[in-house]
Structure 1
């Protein structure tokens, strides 16, 4: 009697799974930012960030409670999370504040200079070594930022400084994430960052409005909040779900694959956002934005490839920007958690 062995179907490698997850995450984030851009015509930025955080927390708290270790609702590392949340609230309120005045591709191109600032801050504050190749890539990348912002052009606006400032605060938050390291799971890091930034954003918005008198062209920065009807509530919930799902996909990507490899696929957001904005709003970025975008992407990819090579040489997994969302393998995080309890 002849036995028939069923064919073995090989599952995709962890690297392929990570790439798929990061690409799906970038698609979700494009839709999230497009929704944010549209909804700023109705709601102030403070309220939208608060609602997005509220929806995320609504799903993350029971998820962490059900999953248990290594995830946790209470952590002794809350001061670091608090500082990261403050940087997130400040940075992304400025990032979204630029949306009504700049195209989606222009804003996000400037923001994607964050990995360059992260690499620079790692050298200054974490005393990490950096070779001549990466120094050259950083210089080229910052030239790309200047070209994208076009500060000497006749159409330059100070609004372009807002996404640049967000990139700096985001990079600083990633340096803090290095200090948190593998002592927290990705879900705990996300919960504290989103929850605390959501709480901070309301008094921050109120305070800004006490200092500055915004004209009608800055209506998205006025203080106020409220839900108009059931459809409005549904859109706010969808906005929060996009943010939550995108973050989970991003977290998963960095958790199962080499962070330096996955980070190189973050830049796929830029062409996707550019194409989406063209078909939805008819936005055509200026030539300077396309040139700066290309230079920033090339510089970031080169730095990422150098990190991969360095990681292979030292047999260590080096820190990259987004690993803040997935600080390590869950088993490693579990060991760190158990050690704290001993």
Structure 2
């Protein structure tokens, strides 16, 4: 007998987890580059690289993809995605990777509330509980009052708002259009806007750093593809709590790449986050398998 197909909930959650893993790997790579190159240059490479990759993939099908019924929504979605990347990258020289990720990871609360207010998604007790418990885990990691909240912490907060806006607009467009339309328009917007600053900040790229710039483009493209697909097939309030895994992954990258090993409270908070995410997935997966009354 063939295995039963994965439910949309399981596929959506898996795509979200993969997206967050790729995003944090991109952020960790960018943190090292921003120490040597201007942030606008790194941001431009991230979006220009995505544009190049998508154009290569769609080289014979670009025309149909660009024809959209939602030009205004694509504009604002692209602008909010660009804002999320820009605000986060700008914070990296001043805040640790784990701390910046933890602050930005207030976005699941914003997404869950926004999905109920603007998209009409159901806010059940279990979904609310999953978001609240994961938020508690995030607070355990960042421990308000421990010196994390400086003025630079405003940047990851703005990143969270921008990311939540992008996620809700992605869910709004949903499966009504090809995922590639969102990929093209977001990459084009970011390339143009970030490119305006290039003549004023450009620094020659060392040959030894070229692979890291290429890696940022590939990781960002893969992450964006996964997250758009995740929000297209699964309700935003279901997959939103899994964004808290960004704290876990950022802690891992910080330890491996920069020797910033987590303390006891970071580990405890990460376990709380993972537990909350697994609870949400388990309940929603069972609900999706239950026969209709």
TM-score norm. by structure 1 comes to 0.68
1:39 deviates by 0.3
User: Does structure 1 residue 191 correspond to structure 2 residue 168?
Assistant: no
- Distance verdict in 2 for CA 1:225–1:287, change over 3 Å: farther
Q: Cα distance, 1:75 vs. partner?
A: 1.8
Post-superposition Cα deviations, 1:182-202, rounded to whole Å, max 9, x if no partner, equal 221111111112221332335
| Alignment-derived partner of residue 36 in structure 1 | 30
- Distance in 2 (CA, whole Å) between partners of 1:155 and 1:229 is 33
Residues 82-125 of structure 1, C-alpha deviations (whole Å, 9 max, x = no match):
11111122222121222223332222233333223211111222
**Once the 2 structures are TM-superposed, how far is the Cα of residue 135 of structure 1 from its aligned partner?**
3.1
Q: CA separation in 2, counterparts of 1:159 and 1:200?
A: 23
TM-score by length of 2: 0.78
Please show how residues 132-143 of structure 1 align to structure 2 within 5 Å.
132-143=125-136
- Deviation by residue 1:13-43 (Cα, 9 ceiling, x = unmatched): 6579888876665554443222201000122
Verify the 8 A CA contact 2:21 2:249 in the aligned structure 1.
yes
Distance in 2, Cα, partners of 1:281 & 1:118: 31
Contact between 1:148 and 1:292, CA under 8 Å: does it hold in 2? yes
Name the counterpart of 1:50. Answer: 44
The match for 1:77 among 44, 57, 70 is 70
Gapped regions of structure 1 (runs ≥ 5): 1-7, 207-222, 316-342
Give the structure 2 partner of residue 157 of structure 1: 150
Residue matched to 1:280: 257
* 2:104 aligned partner: 111
Task: Give the secondary-structure state (helix, strand or coil) at the position aligned to 1:284.
Answer: coil
Provide the residue aligned with 1:242 in structure 2.
219
Distance 1:262 1:118 in 2: 10
CA distance in 2, matches of 1:167, 1:77: 24
Q: Determine if the alignment matches structure 1 residue 127 to structure 2 residue 125.
A: no
Which structure has greater helix proportion?
Answer: 2
Indicate if the aligned counterparts of 1:57 and 1:195 stay in contact, CA closer than 8 A. yes
Q: Which moved more, 1:176-185 or 1:147-156?
A: 147-156
Any conservation in 1 of the 2:167–2:236 contact (CA below 8 Å)?
no
Number of the residue aligned with 1:148? 141
In 2, the alpha carbon distance for the partners of 1:290 and 1:94 equals 26
List alignment gaps of at least 5 residues for structure 2. Answer: none
Partners of 2:208 and 2:81 lie apart in 1 by: 28
Q: Distance in 2 between matches of 1:263 and 1:50?
A: 27
Contact 1:99–1:107, Cα closer than 8 Å, also in 2: yes
* Matched-pair contact (CA < 8 Å) for 1:87–1:169: yes
Shift of 1:264: 7.4
Are 1:172 and 2:165 counterparts?
yes
Task: Give the corresponding residue for 1:330.
Answer: none
Distance 1:72 1:281, change over 3 A: same
